[in-house]
Amino acid sequence: MVLKGRGDEGYRVESAEPTFEQRVWQVVSSIPPGCVATYGQIAELAGEPRRARHVGRVLGALPKGSRLPWHRVVNASGRSSLPGAAGEEQRRRLRDEGVRFKQSALSLSRYRWEP
């Protein structure tokens, strides 16, 4: 249970409805192996269309050894949005799940997760 101060409004308990961040975690964790989802798709599934960017921010804030399958999230063009080594790491993990790349881009029509 998390208590969060809000200045002049005292404290409130954050355990009732999940925050956007928590919904993102939930959605990402349910992407099956060998499938991918786009940032925009995650945002939409989390109930906040047009907030794709924030999904990226949430994922970027994940703790180092997170068990969340962050590598299954790619951008709308089927590419990794991570720079350099991180991007290669993501592609490596996806290849390990059977995803094939064509010049560092995968086919969304083929691998996109459809809940």
Partner DNA sequence: ACTCTGACCCAAA
Partner DNA sequence: ATTTGGGCCAGAG
- Using CB under 7 A, count the residues that bind DNA: 24
- Smallest separation, CB 96 to DNA (Å): 16
Beta strands in the chain (DSSP E): 2-5, 11-14, 37-38, 73-74
Measuring CA to CA, how many Å separate 95 from each of 24, 47, 85? 23, 30, 15
Subset of residues 86 to 105 that bind DNA, contact rule: CB under 7 A: 90
Report if residue 69 touches DNA, rule: CB under 7 A.
no
**Exactly one of 25, 39, 111, 113 binds DNA (CB under 7 A); which one?**
39
- Single out the residue of 23, 31, 36, 56 in contact with DNA (rule: CB under 7 A): 56
**10 Å Cβ neighbour count for 83?**
8
91: helix, coil or strand? Answer: helix
Instruction: Please report how close the Cβ of residue 104 comes to DNA at its closest, in angstroms.
Output: 12
CA distance 24 to 29: 8
Q: Which residues bind DNA (CB under 7 A)?
A: 38-41, 50-57, 59-60, 62, 70-71, 73, 75-77, 81-82, 90
